[in-house]
């Protein structure tokens, strides 16, 4: 492999067509990869129109400016946003961590080896977790501090700002999954992932730049129709009817799923993607809740049947709008608490982050589904027969639920009770040090331009490696294996990357699914297995 030139932060504004291309041969090969897989080339007419100058990929589809005026407008707008970021009127919610992380990084690079994207890319310089925050720091210093203005590079302010630098920085903000693994290794506590999100906020809140799937087709659509999927209330009710039929087919049980039940103990809120892509997941919840005799309901109110909050990835205003609307839907039903289904970012957004937003009577209890599900197992409310799950199982720890909320043991306790002894195996780095699925911070739903290729090949690669390692003793496709991912986005990444890109189902008979499906599969009074290996996934 030829030795590459080191890319330094100040190189961001260079005129190179592509600053640091991702070459297939640079990627860390998986144990089963014999030869690097090439990327599909971008059509020349697309390359001429949109910016691919960071690494040859585009998450944002940024149109190349046509003249000097447009170029200057991009730079000015970015600088305006950067200035606003450090004012409390604009950023009171994250001012303290943003200021601290911007000022106190010691440039020790300790965070580098914690980042799966940096490692799996073959240690591409621009993917260092501290690379993009360093750009923010140096640009801020140069344009907003006396020492930077007076001394320039002598004060560490050596980044020339041009439209290319701004565009590359925008793209670079979307080469981090915000998993925050890098923060866990920093002695000072600097949060470079937070600064990636702060950069995304400048682009979204000031410049109107954000991934289409996350903003226009995501949070905007969510607020307009009630769901990021575009699912209306009527469509949701249809989906519920379908799920009731599905339950009947799979279990022989006729369960009426409670919708809009007033004063229930629990309002369950799912990522609405489950209703469309994985209806067996909300169906499994309904089976378990019915068996446990829980007084629960779903909401058909717009915003009440959609748990996602894409704002948490890129925009504080959108985050606040969605969180408040979701809680209002629950208030309308008079439920005692909200329980969030198997969706990592939705759980963290509504339970933890929104905690400092929901004032007055909006502060109703909100919990993850995992401790409740654990109580079904440990309390003996539902009988489970672990021998029905007599196949190798490994567990993915969604960053938002595990590292960022500390929910580690309930899911493991459940698995101990529902999986045949000896069949469960942890993957390397399990628990709070686990690696992101590769689809975090919106990546799982972003596929514009050629971004999906990058996601599958680079950001999902570490998860593929972990899964292979977990099942290394039983890769024979004659043995069915279950990759349990209790998170919708993580399942989306598993579908697109592990199954389709890496071909794990075909090669090794590894399927993926949630935790509740595995629980229902272990219920001894069901006539047939809930997980049907041939049809699903």
Partner 1 sequence: MISLGWLIAGPFIYFAGAVFVCITAYKIIALLRMPRPFRWDLYPLPQRGPAGSKYQKLDFGKQKMPFYLLNELWEMAQEILVIKRLFANNPRLWLGSYSLHTGLYLGVLWVILLAAGAIVQINTAALNSAIFAGLFFLTTVVGAATLILGFIGSVYLLLRRYIDADLRAMSDAVSYLNLWLMIAMFGSALAAWLVADGSFSYLRNQIADLMLFKPTAPSHQLITLEFFFFGLFLMYLPFSRMLHFAAKYFFYHNIMWDDEAMTPGSKLEQERLKELAYRPQWTAPHIKANRSWLEQVEEEKKSK
Looking at beta carbons only, is 125 or 517 nearer to partner 1? 125
Between CA 437 and CA 460 the distance in angstroms is 6
365 binds partner 1 (CB under 8 A): yes
407 binds partner 1 (CB under 8 A): yes
Q: How far is the CB of 183 from partner 1 (least distance, A)?
A: 6
371 binds partner 1 (CB under 8 A): yes
- Give the number of other Cβ atoms within 10 Å of residue 103's Cβ: 11
Looking at beta carbons only, is 402 or 437 nearer to partner 1? 402
Site for partner 1 in 71-110 (CB under 8 A): 80-81, 84, 87-90, 92-97, 99-100, 103-110
* Alpha carbon separation from 106 to 98, 117, 137, 146, 180 (Å, rounded): 15, 21, 12, 21, 18
Contact yes or no for 102/138 (Cβ under 8 A): no
* Alpha carbon separation from 385 to 175, 287, 377, 525 (Å, rounded): 43, 16, 11, 9
* Alpha carbon separation from 339 to 112, 214, 318, 349, 351 (Å, rounded): 36, 24, 21, 13, 9
Structure tokens at 3: 């030795």
410 binds partner 1 (CB under 8 A): yes
Contact pick of 309, 318, 449, 466 for partner 1 (by CB under 8 A): 318
Looking at beta carbons only, is 124 or 271 nearer to partner 1? 124
Site for partner 1 in 108-167 (CB under 8 A): 108-110, 112-114, 125, 128, 130-131, 134, 138, 153-156, 158
Contact yes or no for 12/165 (Cβ under 8 A): yes
Q: How far is the CB of 350 from partner 1 (least distance, A)?
A: 11
Q: How far is the CB of 163 from partner 1 (least distance, A)?
A: 18
28 binds partner 1 (CB under 8 A): no
Q: Which residues on neighbouring strands pair with residue 425, listed in sequence order? A: 394
Looking at beta carbons only, is 186 or 247 nearer to partner 1? 186
Q: Which stretch binds partner 1 (CB under 8 A): 242-250, 349-357, 439-447, 518-526?
A: 349-357
Looking at beta carbons only, is 136 or 497 nearer to partner 1? 136
Q: How far is the CB of 401 from partner 1 (least distance, A)?
A: 9
Site for partner 1 in 210-229 (CB under 8 A): 215, 220, 223-224
Structure tokens at 402: 């595990």
Looking at beta carbons only, is 150 or 188 nearer to partner 1? 188
Q: Which residues on neighbouring strands pair with residue 338, listed in sequence order? A: 267, 366
Q: How far is the CB of 302 from partner 1 (least distance, A)?
A: 7
How many residues at the interface with partner 1, by CB under 8 A? 100
Between CA 372 and CA 521 the distance in angstroms is 18
317 binds partner 1 (CB under 8 A): yes
Between CA 194 and CA 168 the distance in angstroms is 18
Q: Which residues on neighbouring strands pair with residue 366, listed in sequence order? A: 338
Site for partner 1 in 465-504 (CB under 8 A): none
Site for partner 1 in 415-454 (CB under 8 A): 432
356 binds partner 1 (CB under 8 A): yes
Looking at beta carbons only, is 257 or 369 nearer to partner 1? 369
Site for partner 1 in 190-209 (CB under 8 A): 190-191, 194, 204-208
Looking at beta carbons only, is 157 or 247 nearer to partner 1? 157
Between CA 259 and CA 237 the distance in angstroms is 8
Closest among 120, 109, 89 to 26, alpha carbons compared: 120
Rg (alpha carbons) of the chain, rounded to whole number: 23
Between CA 194 and CA 63 the distance in angstroms is 26
Site string for partner 1, 236-275 (x = CB under 8 A): ----------------------------------------
DSSP letters, 325-346, are HHHHHHHHHT-SEEEE-S-HHH
Site for partner 1 in 280-309 (CB under 8 A): 302
355 binds partner 1 (CB under 8 A): yes
Q: Which stretch binds partner 1 (CB under 8 A): 384-392, 403-411, 486-494, 501-509?
A: 403-411
CA atoms within 13 A on the CB side of 131: 30
- With both helix axes pointing from N to C terminus, report the angle between 369-378 and 280-292 in degrees, rounded to the nearest 10: 50
């Amino acid at each position: 492999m030829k030795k590459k030139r080191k890319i330094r932060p100040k190189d961001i504004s260079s005129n190179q067509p592509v600053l640091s291309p991702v070459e297939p041969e640079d990627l860390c090969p998986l144990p089963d990869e014999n030869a690097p897989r090439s990327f599909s080339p971008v059509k020349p007419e697309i390359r001429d129109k949109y910016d691919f100058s960071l690494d040859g990929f585009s998450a944002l589809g940024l149109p190349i400016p046509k003249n000097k005026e447009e170029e200057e407008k991009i730079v000015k707008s970015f600088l305006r946003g950067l200035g606003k970021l450090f004012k409390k009127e604009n950023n009171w919610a994250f001012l303290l961590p943003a200021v601290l992380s911007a000022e106190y990084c010691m440039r020790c690079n300790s965070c580098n080896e914690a980042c799966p994207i940096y490692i799996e890319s073959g240690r591409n310089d621009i993917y260092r977790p501290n690379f993009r925050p360093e750009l923010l720091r140096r640009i801020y210093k140069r344009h907003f501090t006396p020492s930077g203005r007076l001394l320039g590079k002598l004060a560490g302010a050596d980044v020339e700002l041009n439209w290319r630098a701004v565009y590359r920085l925008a793209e670079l903000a979307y080469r981090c999954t915000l998993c925050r693994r890098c923060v866990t290794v920093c002695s000072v506590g600097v949060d470079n992932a937070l600064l990636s999100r702060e950069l995304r906020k400048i682009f979204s809140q000031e410049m109107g730049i954000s991934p289409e799937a996350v903003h226009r087709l995501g949070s905007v659509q969510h607020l307009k129709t009630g769901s990021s999927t575009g699912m209306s209330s009527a469509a949701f009710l249809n989906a519920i009817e379908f799920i009731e039929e599905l339950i009947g087919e799979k279990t022989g049980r006729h369960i009426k799923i409670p919708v809009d039940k007033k004063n229930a103990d629990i309002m369950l809120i799912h990522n609405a993607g489950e209703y469309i892509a994985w209806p067996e997941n909300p169906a499994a919840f309904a089976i378990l809740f019915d068996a446990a005799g829980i007084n629960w309901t779903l909401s058909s109110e717009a915003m009440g049947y959609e748990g996602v909050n894409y704002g948490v990835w890129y925009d504080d205003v959108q985050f606040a709008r969605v969180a408040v609307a979701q809680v209002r839907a629950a208030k309308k039903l008079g439920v005692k608490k909200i329980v969030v289904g198997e969706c990592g970012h939705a759980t963290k957004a509504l339970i933890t982050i929104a905690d400092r937003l929901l004032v007055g009577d909006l502060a109703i209890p909100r919990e993850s589904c995992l401790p409740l599900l654990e109580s079904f197992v440990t309390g003996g409310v539902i009988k489970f027969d672990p021998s029905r799950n007599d196949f190798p199982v490994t567990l993915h720890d969604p960053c938002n639920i595990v590292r960022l909320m500390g929910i580690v043991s309930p899911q493991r306790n459940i698995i101990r009770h529902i999986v045949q002894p000896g069949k469960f195996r942890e993957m390397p780095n399990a628990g709070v040090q686990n690696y992101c699925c590769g689809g975090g911070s919106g990546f799982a739903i972003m596929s514009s331009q050629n971004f999906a290729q990058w996601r599958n090949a680079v950001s999902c690669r570490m998860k593929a490696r972990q899964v292979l390692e977990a099942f290394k003793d039983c890769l024979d496709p004659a043995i069915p294996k279950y990759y349990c991912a209790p998170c919708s986005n993580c399942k989306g990444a598993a579908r697109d990357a592990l199954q389709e890109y890496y071909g794990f189902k075909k090669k090794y008979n590894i399927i993926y699914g949630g935790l509740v499906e595995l629980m229902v599969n272990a219920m001894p009074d069901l006539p047939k297995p809930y997980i049907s290996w041939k049809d699903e996934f």
